[in-house]
Each structure stands twice: as structure tokens, then as C-alpha cells.
Amino acid sequence: MIINILNRNGYEWQKKRMLIISDIDIQKYLNGETALSISNRINCSASAVINALKRQGIKIRGLSEANKIISQDKLKESAEKLRKSGKMSILLSAGHQKIKVDQWVEFSSTKNNRERYSDEWKEWRTSVFTRDNFTCMQCKCKSTRTNSLHPHHIKKRSSYPDLKYDINNGITLCAKCHVLTFNKEEKLEEYFKNLIKNKL
């Protein structure tokens, strides 16, 4: 229930909306129901329920107590429901992309895979490999069963989408050398440009 708070003279001095938890819901909370479950039932946030319980003098459970109440079976059951509905993948994808779930549009891997199967991508990849003589420009190895060749974007394609199919923005690296470039793209830009320049 939401009420308006009155001042001591009985006049509405400041309208402040405050949630009051019913005695029945308090009893359910004390018997082990979670604040989240109550919040879902009365259509508000779990933090609003917790704050209301505190104001009403109810001792709030700590994390260890809450973990004891929420059984592993319930957690597994909830996770399984999310998986079956497809929401788990979306939650994880949004977290990976560092965005809110309501901002989520598509899986980043889906977008990348679509690009990698495009004719433009294949043509760019082949051009980079051909120019570099199908050789890793870093360690000079050829492709093997355990160490394949990768076309690497010198300037990150997420930051420079207009250069993603520019042959001058690509360099051939083996899988082992490619892994070493992750999160170091900017530092390695000049180095890779010089490797290509010296080869030509």
C-alpha cells in the first residue's frame, strides 16, 4: 500500500510516497519468502520492499541467511526456465556487451559471423593473405593444422568500421601471434604498419 505522509498537525506538508508492507507479506518474509518474490507480487522493486521492511522494524536477512533459504534446486530451476525461454542467452549477451537488457538488439557473435561469411570479408581476407604470401608477418610461420592463419585488423574494426575491408588495414598473423594482440591493438599499430612496409 502507498500512503501520503502527513505532518504532526495533520496537514499534507510534503507529499512523500512510502510503501507499507502488509502484515501477511511480513509474515511470509519471516517464514522464508524472498523480498524479490514479494516485490514481483506487489509490482515494485525488491529494494523498495527491503527499505519498507526496515522502516517497519523488520530485521532484514543477511546474504548468508538468504542463500540458505534459496535452495540450489530453486536456483537451478529458475536458471533452467531462463535457458529454455532463451532469456539467459540474452542476459549474458547484454552483460558481455556491457549494455542494459532493454538496449540489447542482437548477439555480437551473430553479427561477427554474418560479416565473416560475407563475400566482402572473404575477398579482404584472401587479399591480405596473398599480399603477405600466406605467412605470419610476426613469426614468419606458415599455416599448420594446430596453428592457422588469421587476418588481423591493424586498426580495430569496431572503432574504424570504414577501414574494415581496407587491405592496408589488414595483416596476416598466425593464431598464436594473433592472441597476443588482444587489447593491445593501438600499441601495435605502427609496428604492424612497419612490418608490411618493410615486406613491400
Residue 41 falls inside a structural domain? yes
Residue 110 falls inside a structural domain? no
Q: What is the pLDDT along the chain (200 residues), one digit of tens a residue?
A: 444 444 444 444 444 567 888 899 889 888 888 887 888 888 887 888 888 899 889 988 877 776 666 665 566 777 787 777 777 777 777 777 777 777 777 766 666 666 777 788 899 999 999 999 999 999 999 988 888 999 999 998 878 889 989 999 999 999 999 988 888 888 899 999 888 888 75
Residue 87 falls inside a structural domain? yes
Residue 111 falls inside a structural domain? no
**pLDDT attached to residue 14:** 43
Report how far residue 153's alpha carbon sits from residue 142's, in angstroms, rounded to the nearest whole number: 19
**pLDDT attached to residue 91:** 75
Give the domain range for residue 151.
117-199
Domain identity same for 47 and 77: no
Domain identity same for 61 and 80: no
DSSP 74-127: HHHHHHHHHHHHTHHHHHHHHHHTTS-GGG--S-HHHHHHHHHTSHHHHHHHHH
Domain identity same for 78 and 60: no
- What is the number of domains present in the chain? 3
Residue 112 falls inside a structural domain? no
Report how far residue 54's alpha carbon sits from residue 48's, in angstroms, rounded to the nearest whole number: 10
The pTM of the full predicted model, rounded to 2 decimals, is 0.46
Domain identity same for 175 and 136: yes
> Closest by alpha carbon to 46, among 61, 31, 64?
61
